[in-house]
Amino acid sequence: MEYDKIFILHQNIVHFPHIITSADATQVPFSFCLELSVRSVAEDRLGLEKEREKRGMDFLQWKAFPILVLLASFLVFYFRTSSKPSNSECSLLPHDHFWIHSKRIVTLEGVISGAVEIRGGNIGSIVKDKDQHDKVLKGHVVDYGEAVVMPGLVDVHAHLDEPGRAEWEGFYTGTRAAAAGGVTTLIDMPLNSFPSTVSEETLRLKVEAAKDKLYVDVGFWGGLVPDNAFNKSALEGLLKAGVLGLKSFMCPSGINDFPMTNASHIKEALSTLADYDRPLLVHSEIQLDFDSTSELKDGLDDPWSYSTYLKTRPPSWEEAAIKELLSIIQDKRTSGHQWAHLHIVHLSDASASLDLIKGAKSSGARLSVETCPHYLAFSAENIPDRDTRFKCAPPIRDAANNQKLWEALMDGHIDMLSSDHSPSVPELKLFDEGDFLRAWGGISSLQFVLPVTWSSGQKYGITLNQLASWWCERPAKLAGQELKGTIMSGKHADLVVWEPDADFVIDESYSIYHKHPHISAYVGSKLSGKVLATFVRGNLVYSDGKHAPTACGVPILAK
């Protein structure tokens, strides 16, 4: 009977309140609890002493019983509707304290054989195998054998396109793809979403759009545009609201509410950013006065050939922009004014542009530069006609340039790598027309950057520690994320487990988690380096083709 269930619940509440469970309380409908309260009062008034004696309750317990039932029902309702997921929902591994063992763990000291202790989302300790005879691994142990355990990748350049253009990608699909690719932290660019992230209000909209959709941790760059460049209070408001730095374009961005900036805008931003010790990231191309398309020869060049598009964005555009940027920071240095860190995104030209960067760095400029896997994996000569999947800006250049980029990366002149994941809806790529001049530019790549970098770098002899430096340690430092990017005690337990020697082909049977899988230029590629598992703050968010039930990544806001 219902009253028997109530009696049992009451006994639990009175005698064992610390072990009352939702299973107990859910045996009784909330409406029934209210009915019972009314009946109890009525019985009290009628003096139904026999009922109370039958249950063996004293008078005060029975008076308190309806209130306790109501309280229990409220607590069940509260915990059922609480927004904080349990560990079992956030992770495929239901442990808060455990060890990860591998014969190849990538640390700052080198690659070791040992175990990493995970406790409460952070790295508790690191034990080498040769030292384990003095310390027994207590608790659950996950042994990955010969697989590599490395810091999770930190991608400082991705376009997730939400709010406003979630049909292009979106936080949910973008971060699922990131997790499947070993990326544990993303920094989202301020444009391609709508509205662009150029104010406190637009940042708030972006953070709200990301709620409950993040499988990895996501931070945000703010946008530097003419409308906010000379408004110090507006820029400071955006920085105080939590953006990790600012991003600007020195050429048209292709997005209406994200216009290009000039030298004056950049000078103002560098001053404001210096007060917060946050970087300015710049798309470094300047469209020169002459119309590059006028160089195209009638009858010999056509919009379906990649070489035609390549001519429209020559290396001189990057060179001109970088020369102007270096002039700006040189003026600031000679004037004695404080200046912020300047970061050049997606360098494509490995000739004059790179030489300018090398010279500035050798003179002590606060300057860093990234390039992207597509500039290292592809060359212009091998891009098929009409295949607009390969269109991006700045463009993929020839094989000789590709080799120079690799040499600069290996020699330390290029500091880090990023995906510049920039998808769109398939219709904008104009696959049916194959027109490189009119198709939307951008490489869809987020899930594949680790194996692409590893595969294309084999002939240059890249090491696991170099990979971790380019993809983890240095990007984390640029974004101000001191708790990410390395395997050290006290850091976030952000890890990727992968098999460098495992080959696979990205074909129709391969699981791709991007919103539009087949617009990626990497479809059809054979790669080495299969991701087995990804941990974000100790949660196993991806393992062997499965994601955790709930997206529990954290929005990162600067303080």
Res. 28 pLDDT band, cuts 50 70 90: very low
pLDDT in tens, 505-543: 999 999 999 999 999 999 999 999 999 999 999 999 999
Paired tokens of 28:
């009784």
417-446 average pLDDT score: 98
Evaluate if residue 546 carries a pLDDT over 60: yes
pLDDT > 90 fraction of the chain, expressed in percent and rounded: 78
Res. 301 pLDDT band, cuts 50 70 90: confident
CA-wise closest residue to 187 among 216, 224, 157: 157
Element (H, E) at 203: helix 200-210
Choice between 373 and 38, residue whose per-residue pLDDT is larger: 373
pLDDT in tens, 219-231: 999 999 999 999 9
Evaluate if residue 247 carries a pLDDT over 90: yes
Check residue 135 and give its pLDDT. 61
CA-wise closest residue to 318 among 367, 281, 357, 290: 357
Arithmetic mean of pLDDT over the chain: 86
Paired tokens of 384:
């098929």
163-189 average pLDDT score: 98
Q: What pTM value is reported for the model?
A: 0.84
Check residue 333 and give its pLDDT. 64
Evaluate if residue 394 carries a pLDDT over 50: yes
pLDDT > 70 fraction of the chain, expressed in percent and rounded: 81
Res. 154 pLDDT band, cuts 50 70 90: very high
Evaluate if residue 27 carries a pLDDT over 60: no
Element (H, E) at 500: strand 495-505
Evaluate if residue 290 carries a pLDDT over 90: no
43-63 average pLDDT score: 43
Evaluate if residue 192 carries a pLDDT over 80: yes
Distance of CA 320 to the CA centre of its chain: 31
pLDDT in tens, 84-95: 455 679 999 999
Paired tokens of 5:
């269930």
Res. 370 pLDDT band, cuts 50 70 90: very high
CB 282 within 8 A of CB 357: no
Res. 336 pLDDT band, cuts 50 70 90: low
258-283 average pLDDT score: 97
At residue 341, the 3 state secondary structure works out as coil
Write out the DSSP string of 456-477. Answer: HTGGGT--HHHHHIIIIIHHHH
Check residue 134 and give its pLDDT. 53
Q: How many CB atoms lie within 10 A of CB 236?
A: 15
281-286 average pLDDT score: 98
Most confident of 58-62, 335-339, 395-399: 395-399
**Residue 556: what residue type?**
I
Q: Is beta strand 280-283 parallel, antiparallel or unpaired with respect to 140-143?
A: unpaired
d(CA 322, CA 335): 20
Which of 259-273, 298-312, 446-460 has the least mean pLDDT? 298-312
Evaluate if residue 14 carries a pLDDT over 70: no
Choice between 211 and 33, residue whose per-residue pLDDT is larger: 211
